[in-house]
Amino acid sequence: MTTLNERIKKDGIVVNESILKIDSFLNHQIDPIIISQIAEKFYNHYKEAGVTKILTIEASGIAPALMTAQQFGVPMLFAKKATPSTLLEEQYKTEIHSYTKGTTHSVIVSKKYLSQNDVVLIVDDFLASGRAAMGLIDLVEQAEGKVAGVGICVEKSFQEGREKLEKMNVDVYSVSRIASLKSNKITFVEEARHE
């Protein structure tokens, strides 16, 4: 069991069978020590992949993506949900549907910061339906860059995200994999295998 799993067991709140709230240390209040440990795991998994850039989406992906960028010694880039008035140049744009919120957003990155020479590691806090990750992959592909893989803090393995990404031949590395949130109980993939 990893430290992240232990922390999820201790502080995670099961809202319902599909929603886990871990906003005491991952995506509202943030514990820099846990994030740094996660970044180190991403680095160990992808260090031979020739990564040139870390890509995430605002807002809760920024913390793990930044510390991962620090480990790799490369820049981090975050896709923005709307067009700020100060971003005037050309953009790559994709649509991402939020399963939890039931909304669809356009997200953009400036064309200046993604190119065909980039090998991009995508980082996010959660993997559920896979729609955020697929939107970010779309942005990299528009730039004709290469996707090194997708690094995820917490994967809801009972949703279809990993399967969809693996069908696209994308390497998915998740620090924590949750098999089930049923009966108000957090079961990790490793535990479910032994039941």
Interface contacts to its own copies, rule CB under 8 A: 15, 19, 21, 23-25, 28-33, 35-36, 58-59, 62-63, 66-67, 69-70, 73, 75-78, 80, 84-88, 100-101, 109-110, 112-113
Q: Which residues contact 40 (CB under 8 A, 6 or more apart)?
A: 71
Residue type, 73: G
Would you say how long the chain is, in residues? 195
- DSSP code of residue 184: G
Minimal distance in Å, beta carbon 160 to its own copies?
20
Minimal distance in Å, beta carbon 43 to its own copies?
12
Give the nearer residue to its own copies in terms of CB position, either 10 or 73.
73
Strands 172-180 and 146-156, by their bridges, are parallel
Give the nearer residue to its own copies in terms of CB position, either 87 or 168.
87
Give the nearer residue to its own copies in terms of CB position, either 66 or 192.
66
Q: Which residues contact 99 (CB under 8 A, 6 or more apart)?
A: 128, 129, 131, 159
Minimal distance in Å, beta carbon 69 to its own copies?
5
Give the nearer residue to its own copies in terms of CB position, either 63 or 192.
63
For the chain, what is the largest distance between any 2 Cα atoms, rounded to a whole number of angstroms? 55
Give the nearer residue to its own copies in terms of CB position, either 35 or 178.
35
Minimal distance in Å, beta carbon 71 to its own copies?
9
- The answer to whether the peptide bond before residue 128 is cis (omega within 30 degrees of 0) is no
Give the nearer residue to its own copies in terms of CB position, either 1 or 15.
15
Minimal distance in Å, beta carbon 47 to its own copies?
16
User: Using alpha carbons only, what angle is made at residue 36 by residues 8 and 152, rounded to the nearest 5 degrees?
Assistant: 60
Closest CA to 175 of 26, 24, 17, 16: 26
Minimal distance in Å, beta carbon 33 to its own copies?
8
Residue that the structure tokens 């592909």 belong to: 141
